[in-house]
Amino acid sequence: MPESVQSSQALAPVPPTEQDRTWAMATHLLAALLAGFIAPLVVMLTLGEKSPFVRRHAVHCLNFQLTLLIAGLVSAVLVCVGIGIVMLLALIVVTYVFSIIAAVKAYNGKEYTYPLAITFFR
């Protein structure tokens, strides 16, 4: 086999398995519904070495959840001024909308990067 054919075959990305897609989807949903930044952190540390797809989704989810945590703390402080209540309600809506979009993309085997998320981990 010619060398150029072998090198192009080695570079072809491996599609995620159904289990990988399910774990990536579960990461987004668990983070939004139950565990905040704990779920993606646990998934990243346990399954991240086995699947690059799951790790990428867990890292993006973790970054988003940490961004939400910071925004939630700022909103809680601003409740005294009154604007904080509106910000907290907006954060709840943003959390569920973006997490559902990310979960659907993950289950379809596609990449998703949360908008407005600060990059803490790569």
- Domain for residue 7, yes or no? no
Distance, in Å, from the CA atom of 111 to the CA atom of 44, rounded to the nearest integer, reads 16
Q: What is the pLDDT of residue 34?
A: 84
- Other CB atoms within 10 Å distance of the CB of residue 116: 10
96 vs 46: CA distance, rounded Å:
25
- Residue 66 inside a domain? The answer is yes
The answer to whether position 32 is within a domain reads yes
User: Tens digits of per-residue pLDDT, 72-122?
Assistant: 999 999 988 888 889 999 999 999 999 999 999 999 999 999 998 888 888
Angle formed at CA 77 by CA 73 and CA 80, multiple of 5 degrees? 150
Structure confidence at residue 11 (pLDDT): 63
Q: What is the pLDDT of residue 16?
A: 80
> Scanning the structure block, which residue is given the tokens 């774990």?
23
In a domain, 117, yes or no: no
Q: List, as one string, the DSSP characters of 63-89.
A: HHHHHHHHHHHHHHHHTTTSHHHHHHH
Q: pLDDT, tens digit, for every residue of 9-59?
A: 556 677 888 888 999 999 999 999 887 888 888 889 998 888 899 999 999
The total number of structural domains in the chain stands at 1
- Evaluate whether residue 58 is within a structural domain: yes
- In angstroms, the CA 34 to CA 119 distance is 22
What global pTM score does this model have?
0.82
